[in-house]
Amino acid sequence: MNVLVTGGAGFIGAHLVDRIVGTTDDHVVVLDNLRRGRRQRIRQHEPYLTFVEGDIRDRDVLRSAMQGCDVVYHLAAQSNVMGAIEDAEYSFTTNVGGTFNVLLTAAELGVRRVVFSSSREVYGEPEYVPVDEDHPLRPKNPYGASKLAGEAYCRTFAHCYGIDVAVCRLANVYGVGDRDRVIPLWLERASGARDLEVFGGNQILDFVWIGRVVDALLHAGEHGLPETTNIGSGTGTSILELAARIISVAGSSARSVRLPARGPEVGRFVADTSRMRALGLEPDADPLAHLPEVARSYGVMVPA
């Protein structure tokens, strides 16, 4: 089978490419503009894949990369809340316009299935937790709005053009190779005995290990999804508990320092994982069980 991974040199995309190349005979095409992705992350696989440096906003590049593909894993995006506020135009043109381009090109080329990585940010500040997939969709920031628009286009193209589209709403994904988000930022600070900056302090969030996310994406690519599906741990972790775990894992003398909350960020989210579990995808009992592995990957000397 031929598969295209947009954003395949990014954090989640590179882990997905690792698994596909390591466990299947599928031919992989990676399309990435390297704005956040790093080509060295997948360089060891380049004898076994095709790498295209390009942007999903460029229809010609996208059409060339997608030619002959059976499944498209669409992960390319402006992928964080504060980044979407700082550069709202890039967020819109990539997350909305780029997703439209992916779907339109897939329809033109007869792609069998598109897997779209959406986000828990589409829910906004939830009315209740755990949050099921039928919860009202009221995004709180431009990133969430762009992902909701992408979902709308997915549903429209599935209805009008007959494309099989699988939508995965991802919780807070963490793992080796991530950067510029709370866990890698705090690991770096803790390893240098620098205080951890906690914006707010009352947040309760759902952290999910990258390995479980890759399991879900591959299931969606191989079998499809009957409905839009949350991919999370189903366990709420307070942000202060996360800070304490990171300080402990790093064996650090750092402290948690609370700063004012940042308004655009959602303060509470725990996924209802019933649909995910019904697919045979079981999250880890302890969502932060892989913190030591992540810490070591950043050079943190984790105590035995």
**For residues 52 and 30, is the Cβ–Cβ distance under 8 A?**
yes
What's the angle, vertex CA 276, arms to CA 272 and CA 277, rounded to 5? 95
Report how far Cα 35 is from the mean position of its chain's Cα atoms. 16
**For residues 102 and 90, is the Cβ–Cβ distance under 8 A?**
no
Catalytic: which of 73, 123, 143, 174?
143
What is the rounded CA–CA span in Å between residue 289 and residue 285? 8
- Residue 193: which H helix or E strand, with range? none
For residue 226, what are the CA distances in angstroms to 99, 260, 270, 273?
21, 41, 22, 14
Q: Residue 165: which of 226, 218, 213 has the closest Cα?
A: 226
Residues facing residue 74 across a β-bridge: 6, 116
C-alpha dihedral over 29, 64, 161, 25, to 10 degrees? Answer: -20
- Determine whether 48 is an active site residue: no
Strands 207-209 and 256-259: unpaired
DSSP letter assigned to residue 292:
H
The residues assigned a catalytic role are 143
